[in-house]
A = this chain, B = another copy of it.
Amino acid sequence: MASNNFVPKWYEETAPQQSYRSLFKWGSLSSFKHPNHRLYALMRDTFDLSNAHFEKPGDLGLERVDLEITIQMEAGHVRYFVDLLGEENVKQDVYRRIRASYGKGMIDQLRLRKKIVENLPDLVLWPETTAQIVGIVSYCDENKIPMYVFGGGSTVTRGMEAVQGGVSLDLSQRFNQIIEINEINQTVTVQAGIWGPALEEALNSARQRLGKKENYSCGHFPQSFEFSSVGGWVVTRGAGQNSTYYGKIEDMVLAQEYVTPRGIFKSVPFPRKATGPDLDQLMIGSEGSFGILTEVTLKIFRYHPENRKYFSYMFRNWEDAMAACREVMQSEVGKPSVFRLSDAEETDVAMKLYGVEGTPADTLLQMLGFERNQKCLLLGTSDGSAAYTKMVNRQIRKICRKYKPFDLSLFNVAQRWEKDRFRDPYMREDMVDYGIVIDTLECGVTWEQMPEVHQYVRQFVKSHENTICMTHLSHAYEQGANLYFIFIRKMNAISEYLELQYGILEHIQTSGAAISHHHGVGKQTSPWLEENIGKFRFDLIRAVKNYLDPNQILNPGGTLGLDMSEAQKNKRWSKDLD
């Protein structure tokens, strides 16, 4: 076995401005997080690599993007947008066009590593007012110009990829204001382009900075929180890591405004009503294909981080752990906020990542017969009033104890997970620098399906030799949960990655799970949507699409499976990427 002191040559420089790396890397250009030594050793050994392999990174993508990709759009159209928005709000440079089209999926990174640039909008527009957006939509509809929307850019489903060119509306630039914090209704109304942190910071300090009576929280913290927009949360049906308590985004949205080619959809923030079908729920998850989301009114919650309580338990096996989780969710003892159960393989990795491996706690666990490849880690938090979180944590402890777990709460495992929770994605770049691909797919399951879906999909991933497959349950409900599959593998070609990714989607589909719980469908998962929801419901989506967007200008190119290319239909990439 290789030396324990070796440290790979991780890249630690700020990604150069205007470089490919600046486009594909996660988050801030100067930030990174390296796999710790234990995780590194695991990868090196699993993939049969030597330390030497980690001395010479592959293509780091440091080159400046200096492509010339001429725009296809008629000059008259460009003029229209310049007249409407001003020269400074109509961007034509290739770098910004890539940024508006490529997300943070592994396929985006792999393409950009190889300098494969495709599917760019002709223009990136920075509208500032709803009236301008109405103007853009009308003009595009009249002239059949494809429209895409950029919010935070963290899609992992090719959600905003401008497959048919046209314009991309970057709402994050000038369409990102808080319109109202309503303390009586406990709601916030925002423009769709606002990013998570800007909203959360304003809410957290509403008393001090905005003269409000209370401080608030939006309660929505997806993995991509720091680089995601409220609009993106809504149109994809996203979920935050604390959704078990706060709900998914569709549980938080009270009212919305969309500009569609057919007119303006606008609803009123009633908590509930019985005035026919719920059309807000029809628009949420429409992924930019029914209209341009402009305004959202969300529930907000009182901000009392001091009430947060943590817990973590190690179970002897997956079956016990799942049973305990189900019992927690069905016992009506209130709801935890983060609720995250790792399967055995992920638990072993988590022990490395959250600093448990090698500690006295680890030794104790081994002595008590908690076995590697068997034991499963549950970690979580409770949010709400002090009385509520105290009660919830106590009841969770009571339920878990029936399964004789090891109570790790004293070891601050959940706290350590939380502290770094938005930083883990930075490890992706380190890995891909050395040809190691990591990706995540997720699905919605009922409790009844969970064991089978887990086993079936995992089996497929593990049928690829030398592959790490970690799974966790998160976002739990009385009736089921989300299952996350993370695979890590040394790969030599994009086609190899796609084969594995498509295979997982195929297996999720065959397993009977919902093909996505919160990433959405985009243009990546779209080939599975019709099978997943059935032809009748698929056709119903299409009927609504045809009504709202008769000229098919909104997010065209396969979004929600609506206008897929032949390649997409056949579950293949459109061209050779290797």
Contact = CB atoms under 8 A, between A and B. Distances in A.
Interface of A: 182, 184-187, 236-239, 248, 250, 254, 262-279, 281-287, 290, 299, 301-302, 326, 330-334, 383-385, 387-388, 391, 394-395, 444-448, 475, 477-482, 512-521, 529, 532-534, 536-537, 539-541, 543-544, 547-548, 560
Given A277-B286, A301-B332, A448-B184, A265 B514 contact: no
Contacts of A444: 270-274
30 contacts: A185-B448, A186-B478, A236-B274, A237-B272, A237-B274, A238-B274, A248-B272, A250-B278, A268-B514, A270-B445, A270-B446, A270-B480, A271-B479, A271-B481, A274-B518, A274-B521, A275-B285, A275-B515, A275-B529, A275-B533, A276-B533, A276-B541, A277-B281, A278-B285, A281-B282, A282-B282, A332-B383, A388-B391, A391-B391, A547-B547
B331 A385 contact: yes
B277 A283 contact: yes
A333 B279 contact: no
Q: Which 9 A-B pairs have the closest CB atoms?
A: A281-B281, A271-B477, A273-B514, A237-B274, A332-B384, A278-B281, A271-B479, A543-B547, A184-B448
Nearest to A330: B186
B536 A266 contact: yes
Contacts of A284: 277-278
Interface centre among A271, A385, A519, A533 (most CB of B within 10 A): A271
Contacts of A517: 270, 272-274
B184 A274 contact: no
Contact of A264 (B277, B282, B383, B536): B536
Nearest to A264: B536
Contact of A333 (B385, B482, B548): B385
A268 B481 CA distance: 14
Interface centre among A186, A287, A521, A529 (most CB of B within 10 A): A186
Contacts of A301: 332
Interface centre among A250, A265, A385, A445 (most CB of B within 10 A): A385
A242 to B, nearest CB: 13
B269 A277 contact: no
Contacts of A518: 272, 274
Contact of A275 (B182, B281, B521): B521
Nearest to A214: B330
A431 to B, nearest CB: 26
Contacts of A532: 275
B299 A479 contact: yes
Contacts of A281: 277-278, 281-282
Contacts of A384: 332-334
Given A270-B445, A270-B446, A270-B517, 17 more contacts: A184-B448, A264-B536, A266-B536, A268-B514, A270-B513, A271-B446, A271-B478, A272-B444, A274-B521, A277-B281, A278-B278, A278-B281, A278-B284, A282-B540, A332-B388, A334-B384, A543-B547
Interface centre among A388, A520, A521 (most CB of B within 10 A): A388
Nearest to A251: B272
Interface centre among A185, A290, A481, A544 (most CB of B within 10 A): A185
Contacts of A248: 272
A536 B282 contact: no
A274 B446 contact: no
Contacts of A388: 332-334, 391, 395
A330 B518 CA distance: 26
B274 A447 contact: no
A266 B537 CA distance: 8
B266 A447 contact: no
Contacts of A185: 446-448, 479-480
A383 to B, nearest CB: 8
Contacts of A187: 479
